[in-house]
Amino acid sequence: MRLFAIRDYRRLFGAQVIALFGTGLTTVALGLLAYDLAGPRAGMVLGTALTIKMVMYVVIAPLAAAYVDRLPRRRFLVLLDVVRGAVVLALPLVTEVWHVYVLIGLLQAASAAFTPTFQAVIPDIVTDESAYTRALSASQVASTMESLLSPVLAALALTLISFDRLFLGTSAGFLVSALLVLATRVPDARPSAHTRAWDKAASGIRTFFRTPRLRGLMALNLVVAAAGSIVVVSTVNHVRDALGGSQSDVAWMLAASGTGTLVAALALPRVLDRIAARTVMTTGAAVLVGATAAAVSLSALDLATWTGTAVVWATIGIGMALVITPTGKVLRASVARNAIPEAFAAQFSLSHLAWLITYPVAGWLGTAAGTTPAWSVLAVLASAGAAGALLLWPRHEGPAAVGPGAVGPAAVGSGAVTTPVAPAPHAPGTDRSTLSKAA
């Protein structure tokens, strides 16, 4: 709460939350728009649109992170919100599928630039180091809560209005976000050399590849994306065609997954005080592998029911929470304090790269060959990611197994949390209370 006593941070965080929920509601409405335009081929349309989103996030986000210090950041954030509001306002007017692809490209390019710009502004507003770490965590929690609550809000709204009205509401949300940014004092950054900017953008990626536990995290990203793609891409066709549901039913089924995530997320802080992050995350990977196998069985044996689908979707939500929630703790325990922003930026890009692999499988293969083959491939990818995480993330890590300046392996290894080892001289000390609050 002390963090939110900072007026400028409070306004900027409010802008981020409103923009996140706008993006989440747009995703729900986009699935319904795809079904309205393409019917049984909606999965392919939605899969393509979401693939475009991931391409933009993987390509645009690192560029924005590298060069955002050369722009007037407040005006840039406002411009991005205005662009997103205008694009969303145009979506219900489209009549051709390719119109959707063009508008989604513009929308997600703006969203991809917004996140790293927002993250770059935080340290200039929140100057206390411990408060800055909590601000990064708050940003991650906001992203998680958006994925939980957006489907619920969409389901409630769809009981009263048609899906195209959701676009109007989200467009207004982006404009409110722009007004909050305008009311925030955002100092411009000092520009750095191009080479240094690119080095900064790439340093987090290099850290991931040379740190065993972060290589394991990359594999876990694939597990989350494989299972999550079943929910995000296939729900609209599965509910409308296989179950004969309505528009509101689509949102409620998405909310079932969000409910599973919420229940697990509420229980995890106490669990992570007693059980190592590796154990929790690999357990989550096992849950996701089992859930994807159950989804394949529902499709292959033609056993799809409302209850069975809701249980599988909720299980996927639980597994995703088990993997995602401890991620911030693992990142902070693996790098020096001054490298935390680069680590979060790298995780942002690498996690979206995993979704870039799985979205086309769910959308394109699901439309061409059916849900059973598509979900089977996703189940194989989830299994491969889970096995890779177990192999790449050693159960017992020695001091040399982590990045320079990181907290010791006791914080995230195989045993319960214990007192961390002393950090490197160039990194400020990290006490146990900080780690216990990480997620």
Same domain as 281, residue 182: no
Residue 321 has pLDDT above 50, yes or no: yes
pLDDT of residue 147: 62
| Residue 157 counted as domain residue | no
Tell me the mean pLDDT in the region 372-391: 96
Please indicate, yes or no, if residue 198 is contained in any of the structural domains: no
169 and 220 part of one domain: no
Top-confidence range, 132-141, 218-227, 232-241, 427-436: 218-227
Residues 344 and 416 in one domain: yes
CATH number, domain of 295, equals 1.20.1250.20
Closest by CA position to 156, among listed 230, 89, 249, 284? 249
Structural domain containing residue 303: 203-439
* 320 in the same domain as 260: yes
pLDDT for 156 equals 75
With a cut of 90, say whether residue 218 has pLDDT above it. Answer: yes
Mean predicted confidence (pLDDT) in 158-181: 86
pLDDT per residue over 83-96, tens digit each? Answer: 999 999 998 888 88
Compare 234 and 139 and report the one with higher pLDDT.
Answer: 234
Number of domains in the chain: 2
Check whether residue 119 and residue 25 sit in a common domain: yes
Average pLDDT estimate for 413-436: 37
Contact 110, 83 (CB under 8 A): yes
Instruction: Say whether both 184 and 269 belong to one domain.
Output: no
Same domain, 235 and 176: no
Please report, to the nearest 10 degrees, the dihedral formed by the alpha carbons of residues 201, 10, 148, 22 taken in order: -80
- Tell me the pLDDT band of 409, cut-offs 50, 70 and 90: very low
Same domain, 132 and 58: yes
Domain identity same for 306 and 172: no
Residue range 252-297, pLDDT digits in tens: 898 888 888 878 877 887 888 889 999 999 999 999 999 999 999 9
Classify 245 as helix, strand or coil. Answer: coil
Q: What is the pTM of this model?
A: 0.77
Report the chain's mean pLDDT, rounded to a whole number.
81
142 inside domain: no
Non-local CB neighbours of 254 within 8 Å, separated by 6+ positions: 28, 151, 154, 155, 231, 235, 313
Flag whether 337 is in a domain.
Answer: yes
User: Are the C-beta atoms of 229 and 378 separated by less than 8 Å?
Assistant: yes
